Amino acid sequence: MLHLLKIDLKKMTNYRTFWVICGLYFLTLGFTTASGMEILKWLASKGAEFGASININRVPLYHFPDIWQNLIWISGLFKIVLAVMVVISITNEYQYRTLRQNVIDGMSRWEFLQSKILTNVLLSLVSVTMILVIALFTGFIYTPEIEWNYFFVGSEFFIAYFIEVFSFLSFALMLGVLIKRSGLTIVMLMLASMIEAIIKINIFRSGVEDQIGWLKQFFPLESITNLVPLPFARYALQEIQDYVALSAVAIAIGWTVLFNYFAYLKLKKSDI
Amino acid sequence: METVLSTDKLTKHFGKLCAVNQLDLEVKRGQVFGMLGPNGSGKTTTLGMLMGVVNPSAGSFSWFGEPATHHTRKKIGAVLEHPIFYPYLSGQKNLELNALIKGADPANIAKVLEIVELTARKDDKYQTYSLGMKQRLAIASALVSDPIILILDEPTNGLDPMGIAEIREIIKRIAADGKTIILASHLLDEVQKVCTHFAVLKRGNLMHIGPVDDVGKGEEIVEVQAYHDDLSILLQEFVGSASIKKENGLFEVMMKEGYHAKDLNRFLFDKGIVASHLHTRQKSLEKQFLEILADHKV
Ligand SMILES: Nc1ncnc2c1ncn2[C@@H]1O[C@H](COP(=O)(O)OP(=O)(O)OP(=O)(O)O)[C@@H](O)[C@H]1O
Ligand SMILES: [Mg+2]
């Protein structure tokens, strides 16, 4: 296992594009989540100039335990950058035909795919760790009084976040294996959510919505989004889902397994 | 002798096209096995199946008498068609990656770079290499695991004459170590010089398989030139001549069994003619190759 990860990392860590994209990802992700409060304060001060004063400090965005779900939901928006990196990594192997040489050199196709999957696991873990650290730091800074009883409420969102990132990277890897060309794959990756939305609109017309609307959660990209529900409506005094639904986890894991399995099937069947 | 590779009715279809048709091959330990055939005859496809990158449509093959797995491939050094490397990695880093995949000792890298004379450029990116350097790196990567079998698909493609001669020396040296080599090539001269056995493919069909030594056996051709107007008529009178051909200003006499150049020389001398050129030639692989391809109409 570690051996396979080492092989893929050796390919990546000497690749400038990898560092540039990952650097951009972790920097923007880190800065956005870490400085969100300062950005909001700045926005509020701008707003005050126009006479719309909001006391941003009264909104517990960065207070334990709200902060877990808030930061994780925001972080989820950035995963597309990482997915583009994954697409480049896999489609390069087709473009340079190095997949062929890897197999000739003695990797099985499954081992090759495993090496890519393991890198996805690693990237997901690094994302989770980073957000965990940032949430702890900023939480301690901005929370006026920490109530330890509620401190860990919602920290299961980190597990959901890991599945969210890893599942999406698996989806990107599968697209790369199926399409093989980087440009087209990246376009498909960008359009995938929209395509899924269009399909859903066509299936769930107003008449049938009531009876089969519950089927929506089984769509692959929707299942990824459902892991971490949008939290901010709670500050407009609306009811939100502030926990991770087990059904969402199960469906997302199911799709993750399928994404990787489809990639495996395709890889196994094709001449390379 | 131990059988290293055997294929059983190995077949590959690409859609309607049959690239390899029911191929039965056997390669034994220590052989230098040449695979010949015109463009598109299925050499690379065959090697691709043997190396696990092309899925056979039918038939099977075994390495060392066992069905092949990816572990078997680690013991084989192979370059198919073009050198394939990560363009953004240096030659050294590429070989490190090959060694990592093959489970080879990284200490071999310096050695193989020395063999292919790339040591001075090892830290340059692969994409900056010339074609010949890429070919050399490919041969280095095939050697890096100290393999028992070497598979080379047109390894001298794009090399300069010196490079070709060097690769030939490398192949001979590796063969002298008792390693088995499978070599697909269009340079028949090369194959005749280094191979012990050869097979000829045509449109996916096996046309011939046998030792290279047999090629020259049986027939002898004598080239003659002399200052005489009716030389061709005279040569026909010679009892030992089977057929006569004029080529490049020389007469080529195909000798009958048991007759040699000295008999022809004596014959001419008795007629009062002195040959200005007399040379015995064995049949070249090239000739035989063309004959094999012409013989069978497939
Ligand atoms: N991936 C592929 N898809 C479709 N046809 C293919 C594919 N690969 C090879 N072929 C066809 O299979 C036949 C055999 O090709 P192959 O590359 O094995 O020939 P070759 O003997 O190596 O030729 P050359 O001497 O030119 O290298 C050719 O007709 C080729 O067009
Ligand atoms: Mg070929």
Residue range B76-84: average pLDDT?
92
**Mutation target vs A (from B49, B101, B127, B144; most A CBs, 10 A cutoff):** B101
- When CB atoms are compared, the residue of B53, B89, B100 closest to A104 is B53
Cα(B281)–Cα(B215) distance, integer angstroms: 12
Compute the nearest-CA separation of B246 from chain A (Å). Answer: 49
Taking contacts as CB-CB distances below 8 angstroms, the residues of chain A near B53 are 100, 103-104, 271-272
For residue A52, pLDDT over 70 is answered with no
Looking at every residue in chain B, the average pLDDT score rounds to 88
Q: Tally Cβ neighbours within 10 Å of residue B248.
A: 7
Looking at every residue in chain A, the average pLDDT score rounds to 90
Residue range B183-199: average pLDDT?
87
For residue B256, pLDDT over 90 is answered with no
Cα(B150)–Cα(A163) distance, integer angstroms: 45
CA end-to-end distance (rounded Å), chain B: 33
Residue range A245-259: average pLDDT?
96
Cα(B293)–Cα(B295) distance, integer angstroms: 6
- Amino acid symbol at A160: A
For residue B158, pLDDT over 80 is answered with no
Q: Dihedral sign, CA of B100, B102, B106, B112?
A: negative
Protein residue with its CA nearest to atom 17 in ligand 1? B44
Name the percent of chain B lying above pLDDT 70.
97
For residue A231, pLDDT over 60 is answered with yes
For residue B184, pLDDT over 60 is answered with yes
pLDDT-derived band at B279, boundaries 50, 70, 90: confident
Cα(A196)–Cα(A219) distance, integer angstroms: 8
Q: B29: closest CA among B130, B179, B209?
A: B179
Indicate if ligand 1 lies below 6 Å from the C-beta of B42: yes
pLDDT-derived band at B230, boundaries 50, 70, 90: confident
Q: Give the pLDDT score at A144.
A: 83
A149 token code pair: 């009883």
Q: Tally Cβ neighbours within 10 Å of residue A249.
A: 17
Residue range B87-115, pLDDT digits in tens? 999 999 999 999 999 999 999 999 999 98
Pick the CATH number of B220-282 from 3.40.50.10310, 1.10.3720.10, 3.30.70.100, 3.30.200.190: 3.30.70.100
B187 token code pair: 């340079």
Cα(A198)–Cα(A34) distance, integer angstroms: 35
Q: Give the pLDDT score at B173.
A: 83
DSSP string, chain A: -HHHHHHHHHHHHT-HHHHHHHHHHHHHHHHHHHTHHHHHHHHHHHHHHTT----GGGS-TTSTTHHHHHHHHHHHTTHHHHHHHHHHHHHHHHHS-HHHHHHHHT--HHHHHHHHHHHHHHHHHHHHHHHHHHHHHHHHHH-SS--GGGTTTTTTHHHHHHHHHHHHHHHHHHHHHHH--HHHHHHHHHHHHHHHHHHHHHHS-HHHHHHHGGGGGGSHHHHHHTTS---GGGGGT-----S--HHHHHHHHHHHHHHHHHHHHHHHHS--
> Does the beta-carbon distance from B73 to A103 stay under 8 Å?
yes
Indicate if ligand 1 lies below 6 Å from the C-beta of B41: yes
* A79-95 vs A16-34: helix crossing angle, rounded to 10: 170
Matching residue, tokens 């350097």: B133
Interstrand relation of B250-255 and B220-226 (parallel, antiparallel or unpaired): antiparallel
Sheet holding B220-226, edge to edge: B241-247, B250-255, B220-226, B275-282
Q: A140-149, B3-12, B178-187, B195-204: which range is least confident on average? A: A140-149
Residue range A205-228: average pLDDT?
86
> Does the beta-carbon distance from A104 to B70 stay under 8 Å?
no
pLDDT-derived band at B222, boundaries 50, 70, 90: confident
Protein residue with its CA nearest to atom 2 in ligand 1? B14
Residue range A7-25, pLDDT digits in tens? 999 999 999 999 999 999 9
Q: Give the pLDDT score at A115.
A: 97
Quick one: which atom of ligand 1 is closest to the CA of B201? Answer: 21
* Alpha carbon distances (Å) from A268 to A104, A262, B132, B204: 14, 10, 33, 24
Q: Give the pLDDT score at B186.
A: 86
Q: Give the pLDDT score at A54.
A: 65
| Domains: count for chain A | 1
Q: Which of residues 2-41 of B touch A (CB under 8 A)?
A: none
Cα(B172)–Cα(B32) distance, integer angstroms: 9
* Alpha carbon distances (Å) from B98 to A199, B92, B145: 45, 10, 9
For chain B, domain boundaries: 3-213, 220-282
Q: A108-117, A183-192, A209-218, B31-40: which range is least confident on average? A: A209-218
Indicate if ligand 1 lies below 6 Å from the C-beta of B37: yes
Residue range B129-152: average pLDDT?
92
Quick one: which atom of ligand 1 is closest to the CA of B46? Answer: 18
Task: Print the domain residue range for A261.
Answer: 2-269
pLDDT-derived band at B216, boundaries 50, 70, 90: low
Matching residue, tokens 């499954």: A110
pLDDT-derived band at A255, boundaries 50, 70, 90: very high
Max mean pLDDT among A234-238, B22-26, B65-69, B188-192 falls in B22-26
Q: Tally Cβ neighbours within 10 Å of residue A184.
A: 14
For residue A262, pLDDT over 90 is answered with yes
Same fold flag, B3-213 and B220-282: no
* Cis ω for the linkage preceding A65 (within 30 of 0): yes
> Could you write out the three-class secondary structure of chain B?
CCEEEEEEEEEEEECCEEEEEEECCEEECCCEEEEECCCCCCHHHHHHHHCCCCCCCEEEEEECCEECCHHHHHCEEEECCCCCCCCCCEHHHHHHHHHHHHCCCCCHHHHHHHHCCCHHHCCCEHHHCCHHHHHHHHHHHHHCCCCCEEEEECCCCCCCHHHHHHHHHHHHHHHHCCCEEEEECCCHHHHHHHCCEEEEEECCEEEEEEEHHHHHCCCEEEEEEECCCCHHHHHHHCCCEEEEEEECCEEEEEECCCCCHHHHHHHHHHCCCCEEEEEEEECCHHHHHHHHHHHCCC
Protein residue with its CA nearest to atom 4 in ligand 1? B14
Which residues contact residue B295 at a Cβ distance below 8 angstroms, ignoring those fewer than 6 apart?
B207
- When CB atoms are compared, the residue of B52, B55, B88 closest to A15 is B88
Cα(A272)–Cα(B54) distance, integer angstroms: 6
For residue B296, pLDDT over 80 is answered with no
Q: Give the pLDDT score at B83.
A: 94
Taking contacts as CB-CB distances below 8 angstroms, the residues of chain A near B82 are 97
pLDDT-derived band at B217, boundaries 50, 70, 90: low
Residue range A70-85: average pLDDT?
94
Taking contacts as CB-CB distances below 8 angstroms, the residues of chain A near B84 are 96-98, 100-101
Taking contacts as CB-CB distances below 8 angstroms, the residues of chain A near B80 are 100, 104
**Residues of B208-217 as b/e, b for ≥16 C-beta within 10 angstroms?**
bbeebeebbe
Cα(B46)–Cα(B21) distance, integer angstroms: 10
For residue B190, pLDDT over 70 is answered with yes
> Does the beta-carbon distance from B80 to A10 stay under 8 Å?
no
CA end-to-end distance (rounded Å), chain A: 23
A140 token code pair: 């301690």
**Mutation target vs B (from A4, A104, A271, A272; most B CBs, 10 A cutoff):** A104
Compute the nearest-CA separation of B261 from chain A (Å). Answer: 51
Residue range A244-271: average pLDDT?
96
Indicate if ligand 1 lies below 6 Å from the C-beta of B43: yes
| Residue among B10, B23, B36, B41 to mutate when testing ligand 1 (max atoms within 8 A of CB) | B41
Quick one: which atom of ligand 1 is closest to the CA of B41? Answer: 21
Supply the CATH classification number for the domain B3-213: 3.40.50.300
Q: What angle do CA B218, B219, B224 make, to 5 degrees?
A: 155
Compute the nearest-CA separation of B37 from chain A (Å). Answer: 22
For residue A109, pLDDT over 80 is answered with yes
Max mean pLDDT among A52-66, A152-166, A257-271 falls in A257-271
Taking contacts as CB-CB distances below 8 angstroms, the residues of chain A near B20 are none
**Residues of A112-135 as b/e, b for ≥16 C-beta within 10 angstroms?**
bbbbbbbbbeebbeebbebbbebb
Q: Give the pLDDT score at B44.
A: 95
Quick one: which atom of ligand 1 is closest to the CA of B54? Answer: 1
Specify which residues A39 forms β-bridges with: none
Q: Is B96 on the interface with A (CB under 8 A)?
A: yes
Q: Tally Cβ neighbours within 10 Å of residue B109.
A: 22
Q: Is B148 on the interface with A (CB under 8 A)?
A: no
Residue range A96-115: average pLDDT?
96
Protein residue with its CA nearest to atom 5 in ligand 1? B14
Q: Give the pLDDT score at B200.
A: 92
pLDDT-derived band at B262, boundaries 50, 70, 90: confident
